[in-house]
């Protein structure tokens, strides 16, 4: 067998290995869980969307949660953003950005929404200490 054929065979093997090792993550669903941590007595209206899906509005009492799931994009383009509304003001936040979140939370991302933004559950500390402000 020529060295060119061996190189092509090696490249093809690497491609197949790479696709098979990531395919389980691509075919399983990713879950996002959002908690209302705004404050006692404050309802949070969460309305999440992607380029393909509109999940509709969901009203959460204090400490209630809303969960949704989806399949990831092979090219790392999955993005879900949410409008968060309470007391007549609407804020926007990218609740799942595959490039940002895939390595941080795996197939389950949990968020506490509070007045200044949202904090992600850190699997290393078991605390909601990865925090971001609202989109501008």
* pLDDT string in tens for the chain (136-residue length): 666 566 555 544 444 434 433 444 557 899 999 999 999 999 999 999 999 999 999 999 999 999 999 999 888 899 999 999 999 999 999 999 999 998 998 899 999 999 999 999 999 999 999 999 999 8
For residue 75, how many C-alpha atoms fall within 13 Å in the half-sphere facing its CB? 1
Q: What pLDDT sits at residue 26? A: 55
Strand partners of residue 31: 69, 108
Q: What pLDDT sits at residue 28? A: 86
Q: Is 84 exposed, middle or buried, given 0-12, 13-18 or 19+ CB atoms closer than 10 A?
A: buried
H or E, element range at 117: strand 117-122
Which pTM does this prediction carry? 0.80
SS3 15: helix
Cα separation, 97 vs 77, whole angstroms: 8
Q: What pLDDT sits at residue 13? A: 47
């Amino acid at each position: 067998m020529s060295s060119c054929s061996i190189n092509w065979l090696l490249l093809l093997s690497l491609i197949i290995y790479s696709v098979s090792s990531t395919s389980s993550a691509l075919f399983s669903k990713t879950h996002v869980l959002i908690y209302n941590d705004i404050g006692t007595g404050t309802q949070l209206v969460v309305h999440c969307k992607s380029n393909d899906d509109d999940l509709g509005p969901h009203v959460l009492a204090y400490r209630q949660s809303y969960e949704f799931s989806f399949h990831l994009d092979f090219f790392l383009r999955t993005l879900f953003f949410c409008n968060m509304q309470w007391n007549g003001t609407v804020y926007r936040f990218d609740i799942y950005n595959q490039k940002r979140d895939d390595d941080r939370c795996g197939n389950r991302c949990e968020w506490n929404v509070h007045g200044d933004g949202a904090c992600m559950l850190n699997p290393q500390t078991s605390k909601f200490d990865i925090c971001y402000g609202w989109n501008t």
